[in-house]
Structure formats: C-alpha cells, structure tokens
Amino acid sequence: MSRIEARPDEETARTGDLLDRLLGRLRGGLPADAVLTDPDVTVSYARDMASFCPAGTPAAVVLPRTVEEVQHVMRTATALRVPVVPQGARTGLSGGANADDGWIVLSLTRMDRILEISPVDRIAVVEPGVVNAALSRAVDAHGLAYPPDPSSWETCTIGGNIGTASGGLCCVKYGVTAEYVLGLDVVLADGRLMSTGRRTAKGVAGYDLTRLFVGSEGSLGIVVRAVLALRPKPPEQLVLAAEFASARAACDAVCAIMAGGHVPSLLELMDRTTVKAVNELAHMGLPEATEALLLAAFDTTDPGADLAAVGALCEAAGATQVVPADDAAESELLLQARRLSLPALEAVKGTTMIDDVCVPRSRLGDLLDGVERIAEKYRLTIGVCAHAGDGNTHPAVCFDAADADESRRARESFDEIMALGLELGGTITGEHGVGVLKKEWLARELGPVGLEMQRAVKQTFDPLGILNPGKLF
Amino acid sequence: MSRIEARPDEETARTGDLLDRLLGRLRGGLPADAVLTDPDVTVSYARDMASFCPAGTPAAVVLPRTVEEVQHVMRTATALRVPVVPQGARTGLSGGANADDGWIVLSLTRMDRILEISPVDRIAVVEPGVVNAALSRAVDAHGLAYPPDPSSWETCTIGGNIGTASGGLCCVKYGVTAEYVLGLDVVLADGRLMSTGRRTAKGVAGYDLTRLFVGSEGSLGIVVRAVLALRPKPPEQLVLAAEFASARAACDAVCAIMAGGHVPSLLELMDRTTVKAVNELAHMGLPEATEALLLAAFDTTDPGADLAAVGALCEAAGATQVVPADDAAESELLLQARRLSLPALEAVKGTTMIDDVCVPRSRLGDLLDGVERIAEKYRLTIGVCAHAGDGNTHPAVCFDAADADESRRARESFDEIMALGLELGGTITGEHGVGVLKKEWLARELGPVGLEMQRAVKQTFDPLGILNPGKLF
C-alpha cells in the first residue's frame, strides 16, 4: 500500500539526521524498552484492521508507562515536527490508527491501570490502555457495569474506545462511549497537560472539551486518564430470535418495537448472507432458510413479559418464527452468533470492507433494500448485520483482495452505500469513525461550513499538524 | 448596576451615528415589529434572574421569526462590530443572558415551532423558542417524554436550556439537556449557517461540535434549530419522603441508595431552612421539626417495592420517619414543595444568590456541613435544596439587597461555597452555567491550560468577540 496521501512531501524521520535526532531525544526521556526502532517491528504497528487504508514504516514505536513519558514524547514530536499517532489495540475499522513513514507510533497499551472504582459515585478512573473487558470485569465485581461493548471488547482499549467514540451491542438502551466519559486528562500537542470535565454526575463549567476529544481519533491530543461513568449492573438479559421472510419485514418489526415504547437492551439484525456465513464459520445451526434474523433482548426485572410483547409485534410484522431463549445460556449462544458476524463475513472471500452507515430507524428498511440493489449492481456479496434498534448498519462488502476488478467494485459499492445513507438522512459512521477510509465522505456529510469549522478546531489544538495528520479531513 | 466589566472601552451603539447605522441595517432585513428600540423596553430585556450581575441598556431588541432573519442580525452585528446576546425566557441564574450598553438583544422567543415529532425515530425537531413545558406536553401526546425539567420548565425555552445545558429534577435517572441534543443548526458570528450532529440515534462523523455548543451560553453561535432525542414516556412516579435528624444522615442515606444499585427517578434533599421557607410561603404542612427532608421517587413498573427498599435504607441511615406517598396526587404535592424551594428561600429576605455546586455524591455530607459553617461565619441564612442523587446542591444565600454589609457578606459566602465545592473535588456549576456570576471561578476550576484552550475555542468561532462577550471568561 502507498503512503497516506495527505502527508506533505517534506523530510520525514525515516532516515538520516532527523531520525537520529528523534531517536536520541525520545530515548532521553523514556526507558530503553519503551522505544522500538527495528523497522520490522515498527511496521507491524503501522495499521489497524481496516482494508484499503495506506500505511508506511514508522520511525519508532514508543510505549510509555507514565503521563510524564507521554509529555516527553509530545515535546519531542513538537520540537522536531514529527507526526504522532496514538494507538490502543489497533482494532479500529477506518484506518484511524495507521501510521505513515517516519511517524512516531505512541502506543498507550502499557498505561493499563484501573486507578479507582467508586460504587457510591458510580465512576471509574482509568488509564487509556485498560482493555474494555478488563474494566467490565473489574466493575462487575462491585455490582456495577461499564456498558459500551464494541465487538472487539475482549481486546480493545478504553483509550481506543474514546478515540473512536465506540458503540456496541447494548447502545440501543445504554448509549455509546461518549455518554460515559465524564472527564479526561489530555496531553496536548506541545506536551502540556490539560484536564477537562469532572468527576461529578453533572457539570457545565465552560465548553465541553471532554466531548470534543471523544471521537477525535487522536487528532487533538493524547488521552492519558479518563473518568468514566458506571451504572448499576442490570439483571441478566434474555434474548428472543425472530425469523422473517424479508429484511423489510424485520425492519418493520424494529419500527413497531421502538414506536411501541419498548426499551430492549439489544435489538440486532442479521441478514441471510450473514446467517449463512456464521453457520459456515462456526456451525451454529442458525436457520438458513430465513431472509433476516432479528435478535431482541431485555434485561428488565421481568424479561419474559417484555419478550412476549415484542414477539407479538414481530409476528404482527410477519415473522415466520419467534423463539424466545429459555435461559441465559441459550441467550449467550445467540449473542455469540451475532458477535461472529463480521469475522464470518470476512471468511467468505478473505477480505471485507465494513461499512457503518447509521440512518433514522424509520429508514432502515430502505437502507437494506438499497444495499441489496447495490450488491446486485456490483456483482458482489454484501452481508448486513445491524444494531437495528439504533438504525446502525454494518454492510460488509466481501471481496478477494487479489482480484483487482473485484477490489475496485468493492470500493465503489462501499462508497455507494454511504451515499445512500446520506440520502436517507443518515450518517456515514455510527460508531467506527472516519479515519482515512471515509475522509472524502466526511466532507460531504459536513458540508463546506461544517468542514471549515472542524478544520479550525483542529488548527486550534494542533497548530503544527503533528497529531495524526491526514485523518478525518 | 454598572456595565459588564469585560466590555472594551470603545464606542458602543448607545447613541449617535453607530446607533443610526445599526438600527437602519437591522430594519432592512427584519419586519418593523421585530426591532424594538425604546430604551425603556430594551432595558427590560437586559438581564436574567441572577443577582449581582451587571447589565446596561441595549441598543435594540430583535425578535426574528426565521433563520434568515437571524442570519441578517448576525451579518449586521459583524459588519458593525456590535455585540449580540441571544436570549430565551431569561430565567437563567448566572447572568449569562445579560446585555450591556449598546448591545443587540437577540430574542429567539418568536421562533417557537415544533417542526417534527417522530415516535419511531424518537426525536423532535424544534426551533429554539419552544417552551420546555410545551414540548413536554406535545411529545406526551405521542407516548414520549423529553426528560430535562429545570425548575423554570413552564416558561424557559429549549434554546435557553441548550445554551446553559440545563438540568432538573429527573437528571439523576435521565441525565441533562446535553444528553438529548443530537444535532443543531447554528448561525455563526458572521451569519453563515452550520449544521452539526445528526438525526440518527448514533453518529461519530467528525468532532462533536453539537456538544461544544450545548452550554456555551451564546458565546459561539446562535442555535436556530435542534434535533432532540426523546424517550418512551415512563410510568407515573411514586414519591417517598424521609425525615432525618441531621443533614449528614440524609446524605448517608443518599450514598446507601446509590451504592445499593437503585435507580430513582428523583432523589432530592431539602434542609431545615428550606422546609421552613416553603411552609411559610405556601403553608404546605411539611414537618418543621426535621433537619433534612429527603424525597425519593421511582417510575418503575413496581415503584412500591423500590420505595420499600429505599425506605429501609433511609431507616438504616437514621431516618426518624419514612412516609411513602399513597398515590400520584400525594407524590405531586411533595414535588410541588421541592419546586417551591428556591422562590420560598428568595422570600426569606427578599433576595437570594443561588449557588449550584456539584460534588461527588460521596462528599455531599461534607458540603452540607461546610455550608452550615459558612452560614454561621457570615451570620447569614443559607438554605440548601439539592439534587442529592447527583451531588448537585443549590445553597441559596438569603440577604437584604438594601443592606450593603449583608450584601457583601452574601457575595463572600457565595464564593466560599464554590471554594469548598472545588476542594471536595466538585465543580462550581452543575447546571446553571457560568455567565458573569462565576467567571472568576471558572478560571480557578479550569486551571491555566484549560482556560487558554477554552479561550482559543472561543476565538475560533468568534474572532471579532461579538457573541456575548465577557461571559464565561
């Protein structure tokens, strides 16, 4: 792959004097084991999990353990004008964590301490490298929950979640990462440390810079500490599966459930292609004759009653079969199937481009119909799994990366899905972020005034343009 | 009162040529009835409900009905470098809506249309002048709720709520205004129109400028349209009242309730002074012998069971009496008492300064004890009502504004309460905003780096400094 297009054609720290000075200065403030420079190693840190996103060979990977070490890295980067990309577990899907030739990769994975958990204040204070699942388990022991649960929750980090404003399966009831970030400590581009937000339940002191950093993909500063809101641990959820003879009917059921005032803890859709792919990968025995499988769950005190009401709505919308899980084990099996959807679709042709279009849920049926048309037009397999209750779809374009023509068609279909999403009043990204994959599309979604003001904000926080340049816009 | 201190000593549009040009240009793009210039009238728009906040005589009050008219006002203001303050119902408590000599007051009250309510998408699209209660009633008819409910909800506007990031009684379960604003149309300082955010449940396309505008007190742009998230209408809530022999014991109960994983729809505290004041104002027969009254409510499917559990926790914390309401009417009476708290405290000495300190709820007892010490030190009556579940207190300093010495002591005690809040890990404002009343304190809370970056953001959106100058910092 080629270098990231937006890098200016100037001297990089790939070789020569600049590289020597950079490594010398970095080593002056970091332990020896915290600066990796072997190109074979640094290149292995150069990209996240997105397809079609260029990357290069970073000059160094730094692995700080303290805030002061992060400050040292940023002071060095500012002094030498070397670009920096902060990284968590690199499970992102938009190329937001990719590094170009000569960059510093700033991996926060060694800053992985949970500093505090308070059941009375319902907060946790964490370093950015804490793995999502590790935090979830730690707060669970206190009867608390940290809801945001991206598919990669077993490996992805809280810092990465904050950088990309991650979502997950439970967002339909509990919201996304942004809603759980109360305050941040951020190292600015020039190495200064800034605190934003609060550790209280409420607070409106000044502009909400906390939220500005959430989803900023490392382009405004380096998050080194976060105060997160927690919730009481909900009861175990119970899942229902409903089969439909068309995706449109399943979407009608979603609309009926949400218009009916129900508050499911999960409302997910897998289309025929996805169901088949999951069966092929994991032999789970999902019903292959179905056109769409809807999973609904409730974690209320009487989930059986909620599932009965929602089951009736599914039947009214034309469900061919409605199967409530009998217990937590059956429920978990259905969720496993959903979580396997994207890996399973990737296995179809070896590579996927995973879209993340979110539309008003009333337009979900239109989007799914449109994706089917697009798949036909480009002669491609596109499987759709969706956080249906949020209108957030993940059409996964399956293709053989070795086939140039198919790859070109994949990219074109991917773009056409985003165009359709915007046409339906939606957004190009519900939870995966813009990275490099969607930057042309961000400009279309924002319009010229919005884009100009976003760029002005970037300029305000990163006047030298060293923080993850070429991402977002 | 004197003029707002931060106004630069330059020509204002109070008299002479600049005033003529200003009024001429404004009238060129606005209907005749939308430009008020009589100083007796304009001065009546010069302040909100905060004490100790200076204001002057505005040059004009403009009352646009369309986005284009707002754009005309901002183009005019930019061309002539005249400051503009956007206003809703002026129910704010920090002076954020106050105007200085020669300013344009931009009242959004005539832009009061509810443009859309969608039960499937669970959103409303509104103009900024819609009154909070009007929206609440309109969505109620669709089985939906717009939760944020500041005390002034019968008169305050959504635009004002967005400007100050308002809270209310139900925040402990449902969160604050910020959590319900999905997207905005904003007229920038120079008159350009920008859209932020989305109308989908989720979306992470670019920096979260929506949240940057929420709570920005009219200092970054003029909100002319908002997409708001709605929730299904919850069941009617049932309230319990618990009396305590000390404020500390009531705070212990609050901690026990929240640590116990309960999710009350309301958890409010009134201290002895507040209870007495409400009885004096409204003869409500609240128990005067008590040191603190705690109100807890649940809007669950079985609120009686929740109230029983919470009642037991109150008794364990030392409640002298626990009285669950029998029905909705009794519940509403208790809420009325709570809603009357601030007006009742104002009636004690004619004037109040209402603080808004929010602390981690584990420090609530320390704050209340500290406020009592401060009241003694300054020989003042300070009543405290609090959104106790959020740790958000409203100590109301009661004083006679005609008594210069008492007024001085009132201001000093008010400041000392903020100092205490910061010392306890809290914030100077949980929901009322900074305005002019707390701008010195904002600088203390943010620290020098935070303050510098906040100012830089202001400069980015308002390079000429015409949008509500002198507020926040």
Q: Please name the residue ranges forming H helices in B82-203.
A: 132-140, 158-164, 171-174
Of A200, A209, A456, the CB nearest to B359: A200
Nearest-Cα distance to chain A for B240, in Å, is 21
What are the tens digits of pLDDT across the range B204-224?
A: 999 999 999 999 999 999 999
Q: Which residues of B touch A144 (CB under 8 A)?
A: 261
pLDDT band per the 50, 70, 90 thresholds, residue B11: low
Q: What is the rounded average pLDDT of the residues A12-29?
A: 89
Nearest to B427 among A205, A433, A458 (CB): A205
Partners of residue B459 in chain A, C-beta under 8 Å: 460
Dump pLDDT digits (tens) for B342-383: 999 999 999 999 999 999 999 999 999 999 999 999 999 999
* A119 in contact with B, Cβ within 8 Å: yes
Our CA-based measurement puts residue A319 at a distance from the nearest CA of chain B, in whole angstroms, of: 19
How much is the pLDDT for B445? 97
Which residues of chain B neighbour A220 with C-beta distances below 8 Å?
207
CATH fourth-level superfamily of B238-423: FAD-linked oxidases, C-terminal domain (3.40.462.10)
Residues of B whose CB is below 8 A from A123: 360
Please indicate whether residue B51 or residue B84 has the higher confidence score (pLDDT). Answer: B84
pLDDT for the residue numbered A168: 86
Which residues partner with B36 through β-bridges?
B61
Confidence of residue A330 (pLDDT cuts 50, 70, 90): confident
Average pLDDT, rounded, for chain A? 95
Among residues B86, B94, B109, the alpha carbon closest in space to that of B48 is found at B94
Nearest-Cα distance to chain B for A298, in Å, is 14
- Which chain A residues are closer than 8 Å to B262 by Cβ? 232
Closest-CA distance of chain B to residue A251, Å: 11
CB A96 within 8 A of CB A433: yes
Residue of A nearest to B193 (CA): A449
With 70 as the cut, is the pLDDT of residue B3 above it?
no
Is the CB of A14 inside 8 Å of chain B's CB atoms?
no
User: Which residue's entry shows tokens 């002048």?
Assistant: B129
Q: What are phi and psi of A471, to 5 degrees?
A: -100, 155
- Contact assignment for B427 to A457 by CB distance below 8 Å: no
| Chain A / chain B CB contacts < 8 angstroms | 262
**3-state SS, residue A323:** strand
* Strand ranges (E), B367-422: 381-387, 392-399
- The tokens describing B314, both together, are 């109150």
Confidence of residue A10 (pLDDT cuts 50, 70, 90): low
Tokens, residue B431: 């929901």
Confidence check: pLDDT of A126 > 80: yes
Q: Given an 8 Å threshold on Cβ–Cβ distance, is A208 in contact with B198?
A: no
B114-232 is a CATH 3.30.465.10 domain: yes
Predicted pLDDT at A9: 46
Mean pLDDT across B430-445: 95
Q: What pLDDT score was predicted for residue A15?
A: 66
pLDDT-derived band at A325 (thresholds 50, 70, 90) equals: confident
**Is B235 at the interface with chain A, CB within 8 A?**
no
Asked if the Cβ–Cβ distance from B457 to A453 is below 8 Å, we say no
List the one residue out of B288, B211, B222, B177 whose CA is nearest residue B62: B222
**Structure-block tokens of residue A364:** 């979900």
* pLDDT > 70? residue B1: no
- CB contact set of A197 (below 8 Å; sequence gap of 6+): A181, A182, A183, A184, A203, A208, A209, A210, A227
Q: Exposed, middle or buried: residue A251 (CB in 10 Å: 0-12, 13-18, 19+)?
A: buried
Query: In chain B, what percentage of residues exceed pLDDT 90?
Result: 91
Q: Note the Cα A19 to chain centre separation in Å.
A: 33
Helices (H), B170-243: 171-174, 209-213
pLDDT number for residue B325:
87
Q: Give me the residue from B204, B258, B262 closest to A215, CB to CB.
A: B204
B223-264 pLDDT, tens digit each:
999 999 999 999 999 999 999 999 999 999 999 999 999 999
Q: Which of residues 340-369 of B touch A (CB under 8 A)?
A: 358-362
CA distance B130 to chain A (A): 22
The phi, psi pair for A119, rounded to 5°, reads -65, -35
Q: Does B176 touch chain A (CB under 8 A)?
A: yes
Instruction: Give domain limits for chain A.
Output: 114-232, 238-423
Q: Is A460 on the interface with B (CB under 8 A)?
A: yes
- Residues of A in Cβ contact (< 8 Å) with B458: 207
To test the contact with chain A by mutation, choose from B192, B204, B432 the residue with the greatest count of A C-beta atoms within 10 A, namely B204
Whether residues B209 and A453 touch (CB distance < 8 A) is answered with: yes
Cβ–Cβ below 8 Å for B362 and A121: yes
Interior angle at CA B249, CA B247 and CA B254, nearest 5: 95
Which has more confidence, B43 or A168?
A: B43
Using the beta-carbon criterion (under 8 Å), do B387 and A202 form an inter-chain contact? yes
Residue A16 confidence class, pLDDT cut points 50, 70, 90:
confident
pLDDT at residue A6, as a whole number? 42
Q: Minimal Cα–Cα distance from A112 to chain B, Å?
A: 24
Given a contact cutoff of 8 angstroms between Cβ atoms, the answer to whether B92 and B34 are in contact is no
Q: Which residue has the higher pLDDT, A11 or B232?
A: B232
The overall average pLDDT reported for chain B is 95
Average pLDDT score over residue span B198-207: 96
pLDDT band at B340 (very low <50, low <70, confident <90, very high): very high
Mark B39-78 as b/e (b = at least 16 C-beta within 10 Å).
Answer: eeebbebbbbbbbebbbbbbbbbbbbbebebbbbbbbbbb
A167 touches chain B (CB under 8 A): yes
The predicted structure's pLDDT at residue B15: 66
Per DSSP, what are the bridge partners of residue A157? Answer: A131
pLDDT range class, residue B51, cuts 50, 70, 90: confident
Q: How far is A210 from chain B (nearest CA, A)?
A: 9
Question: Which distant-in-sequence residues (6+ apart) come within 8 Å of B458 by Cβ?
Answer: A207, B219, B220, B472, B473
Angle at A179 between CA A175 and CA A185, to 5 degrees: 150
Question: Which ipTM was obtained for this model?
Answer: 0.95
For residues B182-209, average pLDDT: 97
Inter-residue contact B440 to B422 (CB < 8 Å):
no
Assign B2 a pLDDT band (cuts: 50, 70, 90). very low
Q: pLDDT per residue over A408-451, tens digit each?
A: 999 999 999 999 999 999 999 999 999 999 999 999 999 999 99
Residue of A178, A206, A216 lying closest to B442 (CB–CB): A206
Mean pLDDT of A375-384: 98
Residues of B in contact with A177 (CB under 8 A): none
A257 to chain B: closest CA residue = B120
- Per DSSP, B403 falls in state -
| Cβ within 8 Å, pair A390-B196 | no
Distance from the Cα of B236 to chain A's closest Cα (Å) equals: 15
Closest CA to B294 of B209, B384, B382, B373: B384
Smallest CA–CA distance from B305 into chain A, residue: A301
pLDDT for the residue numbered B56: 97
Can you tell me which residue has the tokens 């816009």? A473
Task: Outline where A177-271 has alpha helix (H).
Answer: 209-213, 247-259
**A446 at B interface, C-beta within 8 A:** yes
- Tell me whether strands B35-36 and B60-62 are parallel, antiparallel or unpaired: antiparallel
Share of chain A above pLDDT 70, in %: 97
Query: With a CB-CB cutoff of 8 Å, which residues 177-216 of chain A face chain B?
Result: 178-179, 188, 192-196, 198-209, 211-212, 214-216
